[in-house]
Copies of this chain bind each other. A is one copy, B any other.
């Protein structure tokens, strides 16, 4: 952890600022790999002491909320980008799905749901994210490029399924996720196929999983 050369990274403040990033990245990586991981594992991965963590986040729960919130912000950003995208509807939709898979925003959703008490802000962000996703979805649906009977809530479920894919290192995992996303996208694009069996999930069903019991 020695830093003796470059100019902009000297100074205690710069060091601390860099730690802000390092710690968040480490936390993400660790909790995605193991949702029940101890806080000490995060510190170890980040290469810092435990107190560097507690200086920033007063508790584990607060750190988890921060991670979730960041994930939602990413999701929102991608959805906004998709809404601003003027290419053909299917391309925009498929690209949105691919970007979300790469952003891996649902690993946290999948594994951390129910492990901490959601925040008021989280609910707000979540609602906004869902609203944007709905607009992205409906644009594709209204353009007639989707299989009939789909619902925007199906996307959440599909993202979670893909987030459940793990194989080897991060790169290989990403590769596998795109392999099966391609399969799913082909299925979603079958405009003349029959609707999928069973009623789609409701927003209420999906949201209920966040309630801590």
Contacts and interface: CB of A to CB of B under 8 A. Distances in A.
A9 interface: no
Interface residues of A, number: 38
Nearest to A166: B209
A208 B165 CA distance: 14
A167 interface: yes
Interface stretch (A45-53, A137-145, A197-205): A197-205
B157 A180 contact: yes
Nearest to A190: B186
Interface string A168-180: 1000100110111
A182 interface: yes
A183 interface: yes
Nearest to A175: B198
A198 B184 CA distance: 15
A186 B197 CA distance: 12
Contacts of A209: 166-167
A170 to B, nearest CB: 14
B205 A168 contact: yes
Contact of A157 (B158, B165, B190, B199): B165
6 contacts: A168-B208, A183-B187, A183-B188, A183-B196, A184-B184, A184-B187
